[in-house]
Amino acid sequence: MKKIAVLPGDGIGTEIVAEAVKVLKALDLPLEMECALVGGAAYEAFGHPLPEATLKLAKQADAVLFGAVGDWKYDKLDRPLRPEQAILGLRKNLGLFANFRPAICYEQLVHASSLKPDLVAGLDILIIRELTGDIYFGQPRGRRIATDGHFPGAEEAFDTMRYSRPEIERIAHVAFQAAQKRSKRVTSVDKANVLETFQFWKDVVSEVGLQYPDVALDHMYVDNAAMQLVKEPKRFDVVVTGNMFGDILSDEASMLTGSIGMLPSASLNSAGQGLYEPSHGSAPDIAGKGIANPLATILSAAMMLRFSLNDEASALCIEAAVKKVLDQGLRTADIHSAGTTRVSTLEMGNAVVQAL
């Protein structure tokens, strides 16, 4: 029996995770799923976005299925109490340094992309984002004057960008090894022309690359990478980059696939334990309306079966079911267009279960 910590979080998080849980249950696998509050929901109940009990559950579990956290109503809270600290805390505490964000354009959604169909047809990029370092976790964070999380009267605020050699080495190994299983190309994205941290990044990635002579490595500045992603996205295979650039580029890449509602993710530590979440956020503007796309979370559950539970067959089964519902023309609002059938979050989940 494998244990899954289920952390739906805020906003649409509860709606989309419910559909992914439904799909997992339909597979009738030996899984024990335990839910806990996280993010704003946990703050409301316990006064902290990542309560001890939630962290303990996540640590003990074989894998974590995560929804999303955040709501504008918490913007005035002191930073350590904001919902986003829950996911950052989970990533750091569980050592989830390797974030896989595949951007795959399903053929049924070629026309849902904001780019011309021929630019995205057949697109299959894997963004590997370093997840526990960079400016996200650099110290200090600046001096807080007010207690409401803002800085009235303050003269400056700062965050420190830093990477250590072992941090870069381990994510580089992950990227080269992933590329070996694909088309054997890695693009490392940096800002070495301006930032010392990213000259170091570039140097270390190049050194690690020498151990993988079968993989072609190229380097690209992040501004150029942002442009190339919309100009000629299929030139990329595996993209490896730091925490901050990876955050931005993965949102950009998601639109190539038709909708950010389609993008799953896996965050792994060195023991293979993982947290699985859609790449999108809590979308408070559409929460509770039953219109969110649950497919990114359902596809994240498939990644969970593949990476943490060693069940490739069930992962493929879920992915095939998702393709089938797309073939059937079912679409949530974000990917709906003329000639397709618009369905709710719940109906989409039910359709995937049917297709299984």
Judged by the rule CB under 6 A, the positions of this chain that interact with ligand IPM are: 70, 84, 87-88, 247, 281
Give the span between the Cα atoms of 309 and 313, in whole angstroms: 11
User: What are the two backbone dihedrals, phi and then psi, of residue 103, each rounded to the nearest 5 degrees?
Assistant: -115, 100
Nearest residue to 32 (alpha-carbon basis) of 4, 64, 61, 67: 4
Would you state the structure tokens that stand for residue 121, as one six-digit string? 């047809």
C-beta closer to ligand IPM: residue 31 or 69 = 69
State which amino acid sits at residue 352.
Answer: V
DSSP string, 77-113: S-GGGSTHHHHHHHHHHTT--EEEEEEE--GGGGGGS
Which partner, Mg ion, ligand IPM, none, binds residue 102 by CB below 5 to 8 Å per kind? Answer: none
Q: Looking up tokens 């990533």, which residue turns up?
A: 91
Which partner, ligand IPM, Mg ion, none, binds residue 347 by CB below 5 to 8 Å per kind? Answer: none
State the nearest-atom distance from the C-beta of 9 to ligand IPM, in Å.
10
Q: Looking up tokens 């339909």, which residue turns up?
A: 26
Catalytic residue among 223, 231, 289, 327: 223
Which partner, ligand IPM, Mg ion, none, binds residue 264 by CB below 5 to 8 Å per kind? Answer: none
Which of the ranges 12-20, 45-53, 211-219, 246-254 carries the binding residues for Mg ion, by CB under 5 A?
246-254
Which partner, Mg ion, ligand IPM, none, binds residue 40 by CB below 5 to 8 Å per kind? Answer: none
Is 247 catalytic? The answer is yes
Nearest residue to 318 (alpha-carbon basis) of 287, 296, 339: 296
Which of the ranges 8-16, 193-201, 241-249, 320-328 carries the binding residues for Mg ion, by CB under 5 A?
241-249
Residues in CB range of 284: below 8 A, 6 or more apart: 10, 11, 70, 71, 72, 73
DSSP string, 278-343: ESS---TTTTTTT-S--HHHHHHHHHHHHHTS--HHHHHHHHHHHHHHHHTTEE-GGG--TTSEE-
State the nearest-atom distance from the C-beta of 266 to ligand IPM, in Å.
12
C-beta closer to ligand IPM: residue 51 or 281 = 281
Count of chain residues binding Mg ion (CB under 5 A): 1
Among 159, 169, 247, 347, binds Mg ion (CB under 5 A): 247
C-beta closer to ligand IPM: residue 278 or 294 = 278
C-beta closer to ligand IPM: residue 254 or 345 = 254
Is 191 catalytic? The answer is yes
Is 43 catalytic? The answer is no
State the nearest-atom distance from the C-beta of 231 to ligand IPM, in Å.
23
Is 223 catalytic? The answer is yes
Catalytic residue among 124, 159, 203, 247: 247
Which partner, Mg ion, ligand IPM, none, binds residue 233 by CB below 5 to 8 Å per kind? Answer: none
Give the span between the Cα atoms of 77 and 150, in whole angstroms: 9
Cβ neighbour number for residue 89 with a 10 Å cutoff: 18
Which partner, ligand IPM, Mg ion, none, binds residue 295 by CB below 5 to 8 Å per kind? Answer: none
Which partner, Mg ion, ligand IPM, none, binds residue 127 by CB below 5 to 8 Å per kind? Answer: none
Residue with the CB atom nearest ligand IPM in the bound state: 84
List 63's β-bridge partners, or say none. 4, 274
Is 251 catalytic? The answer is yes
Which of the ranges 40-48, 153-161, 218-226, 242-250 carries the binding residues for Mg ion, by CB under 5 A?
242-250
Site for Mg ion contains 252 (CB under 5 A): no
Beta strands in 105-245 (DSSP E): 124-130, 185-190, 216-221, 238-241
Interface residues with Mg ion (CB under 5 A) are 247
Catalytic residues: 136, 191, 223, 247, 251
